Amino acid sequence: IAQVMVSTFAGYGFARFKFFGKNLIFGLLMLTLLMPPQAILVPLFLTFKYFSIGPIQINLLNTIWPFIILSLTGLNLKGGLYVFMMRQYYRGLPKELEEAAYIDGAGAFKTFFYIVLPNGIPLMVTIFLFAFTWQWSEAIYTPLLLPNIQVLTRLMLNVISPNRDIDPAYLSVIKNTAGLFTIFPIIVVYLALQRYFIKGIERSGIVG
């Protein structure tokens, strides 16, 4: 949810406001989509293992805080894609809606929360589905930041890895069952939000 809100604010800022270095910052943000996750594993690990707040140094590994910090700063998994999607949507939103609100005396924040934000709900739901799906089955950042906690991705990797002591037929049943348990929550969430997902994809501008 935090990642959705940060992407919404950032996308609206890139779409509507002019500020120094706007194109450069947006270009750097897009470059994060081309960077393989393996390239930042060591810096990410060291950052949260020796996380500093002034003179105080805290080890944030094996806690939920690294994921919260990454979400609030827009640096979580596929964060650049979400900002791009929101930017494309807000660029296509008629400015007359905001101008009418300004004429009626609404300020920038009131216009955003009462006019702009409600129109972006389908795309926000789409981003939530993307974030939930990728984070649910993510197998790079999660084992790195939660090394001593048995999470779903680590258990899945243990099941998938070959084991000669188990009968191949029985192992196949275990793999299929594990795969079903993995995708079942995603299917449920998608079916519940399918209507918003389709609308969000249509409005994001990423389809032909």
pTM of the model: 0.74
What pairs with residue 58 in β-bridges?
51
pLDDT tier for residue 121 given thresholds of 50, 70 and 90: confident
Burial class (CB in 10 A: 0-12, 13-18, 19+), 35: exposed
Q: Can you state the angle between helices 121-136 and 2-16, rounded to 10 degrees?
A: 130
Name the residue among 31, 6, 19 with its Cα closest to residue 87: 6
Q: 57 forms bridges with which residues in the sheet?
A: 52
Q: Quick: pLDDT tens for 41-86.
A: 898 999 999 998 888 889 999 888 988 888 888 777 788 888 888 8
pLDDT tens track for 135-149: 777 778 888 888 887
> What are the boundaries of each domain within the chain?
2-204
**What is the DSSP secondary-structure string of 59-102?**
--TTSSHHHHHHHHTT-STTHHHHHHHHHHHHHHS-HHHHHHHH
Q: In a 10 Å sphere around its CB, with 0-12 CB exposed, 13-18 middle and 19+ buried, how is residue 93 labelled?
A: middle
Dist CA 62 CA 154 (whole Å): 14
What pLDDT shows up at residue 207? 46
Greatest alpha-carbon pair distance for the chain in Å reads: 74
What's the CATH architecture for 2-204? Orthogonal Bundle (1.10)
Q: Please tell me whether residue 161 adopts helix, strand or coil conformation.
A: coil
- Number of Cβ within 10 Å of residue 16's Cβ equals 16
Q: Rounded to whole angstroms, what are the CA distances from 82 to 106, 119, 133, 175, 194?
A: 28, 16, 13, 32, 18
DSSP 114: I
